[in-house]
Amino acid sequence: MTCMRTAGALVALAVSAGVAEAAPVSVDLSTWQADKKGSATWTVQPGNDAVLQTVNGEPTVFFEPGANAQGTALSGKITVQANSDDDFIGFVLGYDSNELLSLTSDFILIDWKGADQNFLGFAPAGLAISRVTDLINGNFWDHSNGVTEIERAINLGSTGWTSNTEYSFDIIFNANLIQVFVDGVLELNTTAAEAGVAAFDNGSFGFYNYSQSNVLYSALEEREAPPEEPGDVPVPATALLFGLGLAALGLRRRR
């Protein structure tokens, strides 16, 4: 796994590609829908690029029905707007309608627990990626019985989120590689082989919530994912723009 490139290398990357990455576009959430095991309330915010989930309940997913998101990247922000509780927030990839209640599910779960808790089994604090294959019997709490943890995050694997703190995220979803950046730092770099599959199932991006109220997913943008390069770490859009800005400032100073 290579380290993140410096600002100068970021510029070289952009120039060599002719800044070829497609510009991000705002995600319209007005056509997305919710799947839920119990109760959930997903409220799309003005502007249609943010959604608030307010119920402390069973696992629920908010996703774009019928979408095939492989080959794309999703960026945005996530904030728990509550001073209590410490449960799960996150994302799903390759999700299809009604998979949350299916015996034959196959999608990827990225969830982040706020603190250690022994309830329906032990759930440690931290960010993890899992493969879900049986939602009827699957235990989302401790990642068992059809929810199989693949790996934990590089830096946040045992670190929970903090209330009223805004985190930026970039998720790159390809057939053979999933990458998750939090605040511009690579946290998950998971291959299909590590998940035990020939390729990840195609399907929708979605937001995930379990037993945690008042979670805001905002400023959502989508773009074409960079090509898969085994052993390399593509730079998220936010870091690329930051690097370009630093380089431009350096050029102005030299002039």
Residues 148 and 240 in one domain: no
What per-residue confidence (pLDDT) applies to 159? 98
Residues 89 and 5 in one domain: no
Say if 255 falls within a structural domain: no
Range of the domain at 17: 1-21+229-248
Residues 185 and 141 in one domain: yes
The CATH number that applies at residue 57 is: 2.60.120.200
pTM of the model: 0.82
Expressed in percent and rounded to 5, the helix, strand and coil fractions of the chain are: 15, 40, 45
Residues 73 and 137 in one domain: yes
* Average pLDDT, integer, range 109-119: 95
The answer to whether residue 239 scores a pLDDT higher than 90 is no
Q: Residue 81 carries which side chain, given as an amino acid letter?
A: Q
- Per the model's pLDDT, the better-predicted residue between 234 and 6 turns out to be 234
Q: How far is CA 118 from CA 39, 124, 129, 159, 219, in A?
A: 23, 8, 20, 16, 34
Say if 254 falls within a structural domain: no
Q: Residue 224 carries which side chain, given as an amino acid letter?
A: E
Residues 141 and 216 in one domain: yes
- Which tokens hold the place of 185? 């730092």
